[in-house]
């Protein structure tokens, strides 16, 4: 007798746009892993549809728009009766977790984090403080080497960390993209390791031969402009890194691609300086494959960086910071150079751009790193096995996670009452508007 198909509901913070952000790309890789199992998948989101949204229906994934603070979701999830509910980012667990627990108490609740947002925000604040304290735009090595305890101390007093860590506890399993973030949560926040599962980016590896050194030109930087670390990197390139590169390579050209390019970014476009703001790339891998060097001078951030995975996929050496490379190599040689100052990044970029032997070795390192760390054939089955084990042992997992049960009891009650109050208020306002129009 065949087993019933596992039903999965994904509650997305946004509709996936895999060509716009690595976070959406990761969600799509997880969906593809589920589809390979023949699982029945419904993707829902309260967000508006973006201009680069993936065609989920073409993949066999049902799409359903949902509303915040609306009891229509209760009927929807009761009728769907999923076995697994995947929250895409912790804010969706905050909004919908109590409804899932109330109407589908036996569904496995899983949180897909993309990155640890409270870590990213704390690092951003540290950068802001550093910029206020010093006008030095060059050396940021003091930002790049904090111990996990220092990261914890930065985060622990923030409301965002308290909200995010509470959501991790309330879920049955949390998908973490970076091993560094797992160690931070376990060693400093004392989260049980059993609540966490490493699920990195799982790209499809290329089958074509990489374009050689001679067939490439220019520097490239890519990333969604709405993502604060990307925008900060653009500003640092403009003011400090790129001028140093142009001093050594006067004819050098930098092409910057990113989704949702704001006017403040297009205002930086300056062909005379070789600084080209190119807007959105229809095919990120195509433009990455044509570039000789990928620049990613990230001064803050969290998770692992999709742009650097893309660079490896395309055989494009990169120059980044310790923040950019964090959690990605597990001690393997880096496919490029990691620098901590504008001068170090510029010098490395120029050397890689001009030295074919150095460049080719960096390209080969990227291939080795992808094969060692990011195979879908390894991480996809591991994810399925972990989810199935959690489903089998769900009662025991919840019994052993008393802190999570306690947080759900208190937080979900307050969230439930607030949501019900907002829904009632909206009904009253809607009724008053209808009567006034009548």
Tokens of residue 78, six digits: 């009761």
* Residues in CB range of 109: below 8 A, 6 or more apart: 85, 87, 93, 97, 100, 101, 170, 171, 172, 173
The mean pLDDT of 6-12, rounded to a whole number, is 98
Residues 177, 275 within the same domain: no
CB of 202 closer than 8 Å to CB of 230? no
Assign 51 a pLDDT band (cuts: 50, 70, 90). confident
Polymer length in residues for the chain: 438
pLDDT of 164 > 90? The answer is: yes
Tokens of residue 312, six digits: 């490896």
| CA within 13 Å, CB half, 52 | 17
The residue that leads in pLDDT, 239 or 20, is: 239
Measured CA to CA, the distance from residue 311 to residue 293 in angstroms comes to 9
Q: Write down the number of H helices and E strands in the chain.
A: 19, 13
Report the candidate in 361, 321, 342 with the shortest Cα–Cα distance to residue 350.
Answer: 342
Assign 433 a pLDDT band (cuts: 50, 70, 90). very low
Residues 423, 364 within the same domain: no
Residues 335, 194 within the same domain: no
Residues 217, 359 within the same domain: yes
Residues 82, 171 within the same domain: yes
pLDDT of 354 > 80? The answer is: yes
Tokens of residue 13, six digits: 């913070």
Q: For residue 355, what is the domain's CATH number?
A: 3.40.50.2000
384 C-beta neighbours (distance < 10 Å), count? 16
Please report the pLDDT score of residue 436 as a whole number. 47
Please report the pLDDT score of residue 415 as a whole number. 60
Q: Is 234 helix (H, G, I), strand (E, B) or coil?
A: helix
Tell me how far the alpha carbon of residue 113 is from its chain's centroid. 7
Residues 221, 325 within the same domain: yes
CB of 171 closer than 8 Å to CB of 109? yes
Please report the pLDDT score of residue 190 as a whole number. 97
Range name among 9-18, 47-56, 185-194 with the lowest pLDDT average: 47-56
Range name among 144-148, 163-167, 180-184, 419-423 with the lowest pLDDT average: 419-423
The mean pLDDT of 90-97, rounded to a whole number, is 96
The mean pLDDT of 300-308, rounded to a whole number, is 95
State phi, psi for 388 to the nearest 5 degrees. Answer: -65, -40
Residues 150, 198 within the same domain: yes
CB of 287 closer than 8 Å to CB of 281? yes
Which pLDDT tens digit goes with each residue over 363-396?
Answer: 999 999 999 999 999 999 999 999 999 999 999 9
Assign 204 a pLDDT band (cuts: 50, 70, 90). confident
Please indicate, yes or no, if residue 57 is contained in any of the structural domains. Answer: yes
Please indicate, yes or no, if residue 1 is contained in any of the structural domains. Answer: no
Residues 326, 343 within the same domain: yes
CB of 117 closer than 8 Å to CB of 160? yes
The boundaries of the domain holding residue 399 are 7-121+126-202+377-429
Residues 184, 39 within the same domain: yes
Residues 312, 383 within the same domain: no
Alpha helices by DSSP H, listed for 145-215, are 148-155, 159-170, 179-187
Q: What angle do CA 17, 18, 19 make, to 5 degrees?
A: 95
Query: What is the number of structural domains in the chain?
Result: 2
Conformation bin of residue 331: beta by default, left when phi > 0, alpha when psi is -120 to 50: left
Average pLDDT, the chain: 92
Tell me how far the alpha carbon of residue 23 is from its chain's centroid. 3
Please indicate, yes or no, if residue 231 is contained in any of the structural domains. Answer: yes
Please indicate, yes or no, if residue 434 is contained in any of the structural domains. Answer: no
pLDDT of 157 > 70? The answer is: yes
Residues 193, 272 within the same domain: no
pLDDT of 437 > 60? The answer is: no
413 C-beta neighbours (distance < 10 Å), count? 11
């Amino acid at each position: 007798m065949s087993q019933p198909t596992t039903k999965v509901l994904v509650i997305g913070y946004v509709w996936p746009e895999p060509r716009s952000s690595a976070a959406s790309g990761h969600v799509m890789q997880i969906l593809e892993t589920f589809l390979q199992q023949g699982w029945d998948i419904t993707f829902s989101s309260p967000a508006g549809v973006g201009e680069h949204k993936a065609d989920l229906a073409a993949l066999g994934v049902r799409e359903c728009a949902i509303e915040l603070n609306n009891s229509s979701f209760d009927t929807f999830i009761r009728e769907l009766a999923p076995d697994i509910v995947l929250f895409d980012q912790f804010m969706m667990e905050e909004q919908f977790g109590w409804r899932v627990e109330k109407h589908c108490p036996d569904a496995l609740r899983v949180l897909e984090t993309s990155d640890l947002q409270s870590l990213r925000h704390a690092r951003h604040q540290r950068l802001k403080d550093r910029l206020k304290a010093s006008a030095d735009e060059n050396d940021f090595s003091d930002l790049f080497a904090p111990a996990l305890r220092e990261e914890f101390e930065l985060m622990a007093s923030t409301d965002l960390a308290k909200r995010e860590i509470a959501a991790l506890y309330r879920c049955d399993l949390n998908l973490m993209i970076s091993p560094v973030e797992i160690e931070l949560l376990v060693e400093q926040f004392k989260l049980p390791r059993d609540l966490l599962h490493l699920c990195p980016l799982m790209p499809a590896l290329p089958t074509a031969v990489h374009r050689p050194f001679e067939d490439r030109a220019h520097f490239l930087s890519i990333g969604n402009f709405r993502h604060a670390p990307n925008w900060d990197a653009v500003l640092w390139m403009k003011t400090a890194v790129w001028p140093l590169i142009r001093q050594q390579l006067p004819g050098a050209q930098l092409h910057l691609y990113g989704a949702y390019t704001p006017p403040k970014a297009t205002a930086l476009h300056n062909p005379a300086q070789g600084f080209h703001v190119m807007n959105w790339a229809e095919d990120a891998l195509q433009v990455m494959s044509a570039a000789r060097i990928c620049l990613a001078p990230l001064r803050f951030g969290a998770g692992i960086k999709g742009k650097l995975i893309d660079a490896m996929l395309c055989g494009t050496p990169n120059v980044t910071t310790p923040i950019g490379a964090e959690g990605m190599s597990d001690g393997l040689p880096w496919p490029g150079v990691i620098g901590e100052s504008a001068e170090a990044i510029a010098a490395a970029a120029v050397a890689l751009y001009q030295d074919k032997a150095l460049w080719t070795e960096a390209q080969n390192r990227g291939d080795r790193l992808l094969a060692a760390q990011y195979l879908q054939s390894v991480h996809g089955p591991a994810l399925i096995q972990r989810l199935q084990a959690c489903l089998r042992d769900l009662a025991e997992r919840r019994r052993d996670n008393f802190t999570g049960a306690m947080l759900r009891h208190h937080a979900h009650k307050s969230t439930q009452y607030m949501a019900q109050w907002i829904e009632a208020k909206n009904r009253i306002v809607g009724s008053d508007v209808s009567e006034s129009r009548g």
